[in-house]
Structure 1
Amino acid sequence: MRVNCLSCGHKVDLDEAYDDYHGPVKCLPCGAILEIEAQEGKLRIVRIGGAMSPGGNEKTQFREFQGL
């Protein structure tokens, strides 16, 4: 499964371990934290909270993609 980072556009490849997964995935090039939800190998929701700040707090503004 492949997810494009909503912050920088980098392609993040996820293996079969993420086929039924709900949780965070970090984009290594930009540091954005993507919140994903996948079921049966298909993405259902991808949200971004932005890059982690130096204090470790995630930004609260979200952009969202919902798949069918």
Structure 2
Amino acid sequence: MMGGSGFAPWPAGIHPRERPRLGGYGEAVDALRTTMRAGGSGVLAGLFARPLIAGAWLGAVPWG
């Protein structure tokens, strides 16, 4: 898979690797979509949890 830091190499490396393995364009696109959905769920959970935790911490500090 393509290396490097950042978001772009991750999805850009999935499709070319999955296409020969799965045998076609459509199957590779489905694999890419599944991977993006799974990764997106984790990102959304993190985006929700971090402000929630920060807000709880900031709320607890004055009453510490």
TM-score, length of structure 2 as denominator length: 0.25
Larger radius of gyration: 2
